[in-house]
Structure 1
Amino acid sequence: MGRNLALIRSTYEGSSEENGRNLLAALAPDAEWTEAAGFPYAGTYVGAEAIMAGVFHRLGTEWIGYRAETHTFLEDGDRIAAFGVYSGTYRATGRFMRASFAHLYELRDGKILRMTQYVDSAMVQQALLPSA
């Protein structure tokens, strides 16, 4: 396993606290984090503070039991792809979701420069809608 792959795996495979610490340590100062169109936090966040506030704080407060479980990683030099399934219950509606995702990371010198999210946003959007 290459160094970049080990670094990315360390942001998924521990406790939420460990994953968060590992992610913060791995982000380049001007890292770009792009959440997919159709995802509740869609857009590009630049820098650790914006990424944590715009994505991870919201995931932690707006969802119950939110998880990103990976099943496959692929390594191509400075690019790492992580594939898996999100799950959780949206607090405002009480609706549960499971949605497949892919994350593409670009790294340089052991730091994450960019992450792009691909997700089955239809499954996530269903959880955001109140029950009929």
Structure 2
Amino acid sequence: MRSNLELLRSTYEGQSGENATRLLDLLAADAEWVEAAGFPYAGTFRGPDAIVANVFRRLATEWIGYRAEADSFLEQGEQIVAFGSYSGTYKETGRAMRAAFAHHYTFRDGKIAHMVQYVDSYTVRQAMQP
């Protein structure tokens, strides 16, 4: 059986669509997903359907080449923090961005039970401004 870290790492390593599929498979049915205040998709979403509708679907349709690439991970028990950067071009403006992030995950029984995003929201919002 793969470790939580190996499972999580696999959600950052492929193409965006593949990563999203692997991530959805890792979400607990009652997962809580917290997008940072100030981020364009800010809020707390519960359950895979709400997470997809309010975060992933919007990223997939509003951005060109949107990626979340993790450079390093810290693990302590059931908690893992991924550090990396987002990149992509906002469709409406044609502006590209690269923004640093940290994702703090809590696992339960091999599934993601909770995630909190920390991000340079300013950089993302700048790309969205006309």
TM-score range, shorter chain: over 0.9
Letter in 2 for 1:56: F
2:41–2:55 Cα contact (<8 Å) kept: yes
What stretches of structure 1 of length at least 5 have no aligned partner?
Answer: none
Residue in 2 that maps onto 1:109 = 109
Letter in 2 for 1:123: T
Distance in 1 between residues matched to 2:98 and 2:17, nearest whole Å: 22
Residue in 2 that maps onto 1:31 = 31
Distance in 1 between residues matched to 2:74 and 2:44, nearest whole Å: 23
**SS in structure 2 opposite 1:92?**
coil
Residue 94 (1) aligns with residue 94 (2): yes
Question: Normalised by the size of structure 1, how large is the TM-score?
Answer: 0.94
Letter in 1 for 2:120: D
Matches within 5 A, 1:33-72: 33-72=33-72
2:16–2:67 Cα contact (<8 Å) kept: no
User: What's the % identity of the aligned pairs?
Assistant: 66
Residue 12 (1) aligns with residue 6 (2): no
Residue in 2 that maps onto 1:85 = 85
Superposition deviation, residue 17 in structure 1:
2.9
**SS in structure 2 opposite 1:94?**
coil
User: May I ask how many residue pairs the two structures share in their alignment?
Assistant: 129
CA RMSD of aligned residues (A): 1.0
Q: Which contiguous aligned blocks of 4+ residues in structure 1 show a shift greater than 6 angstroms? A: none
Distance in 2 between residues matched to 1:68 and 1:26, nearest whole Å: 17
**SS in structure 1 opposite 2:5?**
helix
**SS in structure 2 opposite 1:127?**
helix
